[in-house]
Amino acid sequence: MKDTKQYQLDRENVPQHVAIVMDGNGRWAKKRSLPRLAGHNAGMAALKEIVKRSDVLGVKYLTVYAFSTENWKRPADEVSGIFKLLIVYMKKELAELHANNVHVQIFGDYSRLPKDSIDALETALEKTKNNTGLKFNIALNYGGRDEMMQAIRRLAAKCCDGTLKPEELSEEMVAQQLYTAGMPDPELIIRTSGELRLSNFLLWQSAYSEFVFTDVLWPDFTPEEYERCIAEFQGRKRRYGGV
Residues of 71-101 as b/e, b for ≥16 C-beta within 10 angstroms?
beeeeeeebebbbbbbbebbeebbeebbebe
Q: For the chain, where are the alpha helices, taking DSSP H only? A: 25-31, 36-57, 76-99, 115-128, 144-160, 171-176, 223-234
Question: Choosing from 10, 13, 23, 116, which is the catalytic residue?
Answer: 23
3-state secondary structure at position 113: coil
Tell me how far apart the alpha carbons of residues 99 and 155 are, in angstroms, rounded to a whole number: 38
23 is catalytic: yes
Nearest to 234 by CA among 188, 202, 172: 188
Nearest to 44 by CA among 160, 228, 218, 225: 218
3-state secondary structure at position 85: helix
How many CA within 13 A on the CB side of residue 44? 19
Nearest to 63 by CA among 183, 215, 213: 183
3-state secondary structure at position 118: helix
Tell me how far apart the alpha carbons of residues 154 and 20 are, in angstroms, rounded to a whole number: 28
Question: Choosing from 3, 71, 109, 200, which is the catalytic residue?
Answer: 71
Which residues are catalytic, by number?
A: 23, 71
